Structure 1
Amino acid sequence: MGIFKFFRSGNSEPRNTYEKATYERGPFMITCPFCFKKFKSDHVVFRASHSEKGDPEYEKVEDELLNRYYKKIGKGTLGPMNPVVKAQALPERNKTRVDKVLVEIKDKYDASTDERLCPYCHNDLPITSGRGPSKIISVIGASQVGKSVYMTTLLYVLEKYTCERIGASLIAGNSGYNDEIRENQERIFEKNLMLDPTPKQHVEPLIENLKFKEDKIPPLTLIFYDIPGEGMTDKAYMENHAEHIKNSDGIIFLVDPLQMRTLRKKLSIVNREKGDFTEKYQEPKDIIVYLFENFISKESKEKTHIPTAVVVTKSDMLKNLKDEEYIGENSNIFKNYNHEGFFNLNEFENIDGEVRKFLLKADAPFKGAVDACFKTAGYFAVSSLGSNSNHLEIDRSSSINPIRVDEPFLWLLYKMNYLDGGRE
């Protein structure tokens, strides 16, 4: 069964043997969240905590590998830094290991450092690298689809509610991530303000650690990438800043109902705006075209095997359709559901079927493109806020009530064998 071995219904059987292999294997291979190279935990290098004039090995120097990475992503290069120390050159007594993973060294000056770096690009590694598995999850979609709002509410729901149901805790990769997440959540949940659009520039990964209450279960490092919508249809940007997509372990593909031509004038929200929405929104299929051009076309049989959650956002809007042809007014997509004890396959299949039928009627070309390009896809509908926002301000007359935002993420955990599935 999966890592969450306690996630089983009374009549479900274990899905796999991952848990046994995990506990017998010891240290995990590390995947760098920046350059995506894979390496053994003993191959990490360290940034020295000091520099020494007159010692060529320990003088401050420009870090060529780190500057090469910065140049690639369009950042300015850095000046002289403390030297990089290779642990292999040190005696074993100078090395500190936790769970058989090298986490700290004392250099030849007996000075300690725990700043671990990728040996290929010299970026800082997450604290838990090597001590448990790591998974890269790319959140993609067109401009204005609500990726940043979705990520903010997803992390909020995971931390406040979902993690308790799976016997875990969500811990930010470092205090910097934690501060940014808290600011965004305060803006939405306390001030009722929308987030500013993500600028079209290189986006750093958001790293979270899923730490389990049961000690023998290794921590899971989650590496989220949220790429700006404008970048999704820019070939040069995709080549320089979207390498993470083809290296993903899972994809969350967000689709806005207003991107669908057949729905724009049917939804009552368009009455608040003047003019045609045709030019304002990208078509969902446009994103697949660029994904196909940049990496799917290079896959075997021209389909990607990366599990992909296709997520219709702003699902609360669909209540305004007043048209049973698209979605029933009493559909389960408008009701929250807690996957408690296991990932409920019955509930997933119901939602998956409803959204598939909806997309087939609302945007058949997009649905056909997904079927043609993605080998493993699950369909979902979420509302990050529970009600419509008006430009930069959220409706203050109603409370914020995210609907089903954690479901696509839990499905990815299930497909990656970290969460058991069962049936009621």
Structure 2
Amino acid sequence: MGLFSFLRGNRSENNDYKKATYEKGPFMITCPFCFKKFKTDQVVFRASHFENGDPEYEKTVDELLNEYNKKVGKGVLGEINPIIVPKDLPEKNKTRVDGVLIEIKDKYDMSTSERLCPFCHNELPITSGRGPSKIISVVGASQAGKSVYMTTLLYTLEKYSCGRINASLIAGSSLYNDEIRENQEKIFEKNIMLDPTPKQHVEPLIENMKFRDDKIAPITFIFYDIPGEGMTDKDYIERHGDHIKNSDGIIFLVDPLQMRTLRKKVSLMNREMKGDFTEKYQEPKDIIVYLFENFISKQSKEKTNIPTAIVVTKSDMLRNLNDEEYINENSNIFRNYDHSEFFNLNEFENIDGEVRKFLSKADASFKGAMDTYFGVTGYFAVSSLGCNPQNLKIDSGNSINPLRVDEPFLWLLYQMNYLDGGRQ
């Protein structure tokens, strides 16, 4: 059985896959901005030049792009280079790779590879159409650590986890690469925490996963990390939250300090305030309310079957509970585990069971709501840093050691039938 399997059909009851079959491209494209789906030959291109006096090639206002920009609160643009529709060109002017149209020459024999969504005119990832695209939404309340988690997740996947499953992960463009590298340098080299994500329009973060087995098409992962303040703002979610209902997977981060029963129990090394933290933190269930209002309530039976990883963050702090009613100090959540070659179902079920039990005691109403409104769930505990930052800085005496941060993502790969499951 291949490590990564594009399969038709469901898993059998004994958790084994049916015989693997590989999907063939070209693949339908999902726009990472407006989320419309279309065939590869429906893409349009932005001309690399303009020609005064030629109505087809003069600079013009792009109404579709400006309509999208207005919707998400971005500034509108003035006149820019025109749109070229490939179907108006002869076949000899078109360049295809793996059956996918990636570049054209216009009637002036000028090349352009700036492919755009035909519905919103945003530029598409370079790999669109050559493999499947999967949207992953990272949600959670303010201060749950979403940006730090995403930074350490990508760091861990790139340096360690992907190699164990015979794959590689790289940024979707040099722009994304610069942003990721800057954040990783802050944390892993300068020991500085990231600033909170500002409450404004959030651009997706695009990553490409390529496998050593060339029979398997590469996957384009489109990550959305929505700011916590936006998660409980109805207007903000309506304008910027379309990716959630269009997700192929959700990572739902929960900070232990969001749970009222734990705030006075957890001893924080970087505590700057005394007493209850009630006013400082949103409740995890608040996020479910807004997710329910904006998309779950519109699903069949008021339930979503988007695979959702519920992730308790800052798990290193749980060692300080000194209360085995919640978590045993010898729990496996405090030890890293490498899922090599396949996703170990025994290890997952162990962690899943422990975290479910923990949440049932620490925040039963949240756990109950998750079980009611989310049909496919896995429970995890991670520590993005492995230690507590103090005054937005990481003590140089502490080594940064991300703990189990890749496990929720690998579980999503398993749920999407890209990673085999097995038992040891």
TM-score by length of structure 1 reads: 0.96
Supply the AA of the counterpart residue of 2:111: S
After TM superposition, give the deviation of residue 169 of structure 1 in Å. 1.3
Provide the rounded CA distance (Å) in 2 between the counterparts of 1:70 and 1:319. 46
Give matches, 1:193-208, under 5 Å.
193-208=192-207
Provide the rounded CA distance (Å) in 2 between the counterparts of 1:14 and 1:196. 43
Check the 8 A contact 2:116/2:122 in 1, yes or no. Answer: yes
The unaligned stretches of length 5 or more in structure 1 are 7-11
After TM superposition, give the deviation of residue 168 of structure 1 in Å. 1.4
Question: Structure 1 residues 125 and 16, CA, compared in 2 at 3 Å: closer, same or farther?
Answer: farther
- Which residue number in structure 2 is paired with residue 31 of structure 1? 30
After TM superposition, give the deviation of residue 2 of structure 1 in Å. 6.8
Supply the AA of the counterpart residue of 1:50: H
- Which residue number in structure 2 is paired with residue 403 of structure 1? 403
Supply the AA of the counterpart residue of 1:343: F
Provide the rounded CA distance (Å) in 2 between the counterparts of 1:38 and 1:384. 34
- Which residue number in structure 2 is paired with residue 388 of structure 1? 388
User: Is residue 2:359 matched to residue 1:359?
Assistant: yes
After TM superposition, give the deviation of residue 275 of structure 1 in Å. 3.8
After TM superposition, give the deviation of residue 121 of structure 1 in Å. 0.3
Provide the rounded CA distance (Å) in 2 between the counterparts of 1:272 and 1:66. 46
User: Is residue 2:17 matched to residue 1:15?
Assistant: yes
Check the 8 A contact 1:2/1:417 in 2, yes or no. Answer: no
- Which residue number in structure 1 is paired with residue 265 of structure 2? 266
Partner SS state of residue 60, structure 2: coil
Provide the rounded CA distance (Å) in 2 between the counterparts of 1:412 and 1:376. 10
Check the 8 A contact 1:2/1:15 in 2, yes or no. Answer: no
After TM superposition, give the deviation of residue 5 of structure 1 in Å. 4.8
After TM superposition, give the deviation of residue 339 of structure 1 in Å. 0.2
Partner SS state of residue 400, structure 1: coil
Provide the rounded CA distance (Å) in 1 between the counterparts of 2:264 and 2:2. 45
Provide the rounded CA distance (Å) in 2 between the counterparts of 1:275 and 1:345. 41
Check the 8 A contact 2:187/2:193 in 1, yes or no. Answer: yes
The unaligned stretches of length 5 or more in structure 2 are 7-13
CA RMSD of aligned residues (A): 1.4
Provide the rounded CA distance (Å) in 1 between the counterparts of 2:130 and 2:368. 41
Supply the AA of the counterpart residue of 1:88: K
Check the 8 A contact 2:264/2:275 in 1, yes or no. Answer: no
Partner SS state of residue 170, structure 1: strand
Supply the AA of the counterpart residue of 1:396: S
1:289-346 C-alpha deviation (Å, 9 max, x unpaired): 1100111001000000100000000000000001110000000000000000100000
- Which residue number in structure 2 is paired with residue 279 of structure 1? 279
Provide the rounded CA distance (Å) in 1 between the counterparts of 2:102 and 2:288. 41
After TM superposition, give the deviation of residue 397 of structure 1 in Å. 1.2
Partner SS state of residue 350, structure 1: helix
User: Is residue 2:310 matched to residue 1:310?
Assistant: yes
After TM superposition, give the deviation of residue 395 of structure 1 in Å. 2.0
1:348-391 C-alpha deviation (Å, 9 max, x unpaired): 00000000000000000000000111000100000000011123
After TM superposition, give the deviation of residue 14 of structure 1 in Å. 5.4
User: Is residue 2:324 matched to residue 1:324?
Assistant: yes
- Which residue number in structure 1 is paired with residue 161 of structure 2? 162
Aligned length: 416
State the identity %: 77
Question: Structure 1 residues 81 and 91, CA, compared in 2 at 3 Å: closer, same or farther?
Answer: same
Check the 8 A contact 1:16/1:417 in 2, yes or no. Answer: no
- Which residue number in structure 2 is paired with residue 9 of structure 1? none
Check the 8 A contact 1:139/1:251 in 2, yes or no. Answer: yes
Partner SS state of residue 254, structure 1: strand
Provide the rounded CA distance (Å) in 2 between the counterparts of 1:14 and 1:346. 13
Provide the rounded CA distance (Å) in 2 between the counterparts of 1:355 and 1:50. 56
- Which residue number in structure 1 is paired with residue 333 of structure 2? 333
Structure 1 segments (4+ residues) deviating >6 Å: none
Check the 8 A contact 2:3/2:165 in 1, yes or no. Answer: no
| Structure 1 stretch displaced more, 390-399 or 137-146 | 390-399
TM-score by length of structure 2 reads: 0.96
Supply the AA of the counterpart residue of 2:414: Y
Supply the AA of the counterpart residue of 2:292: F
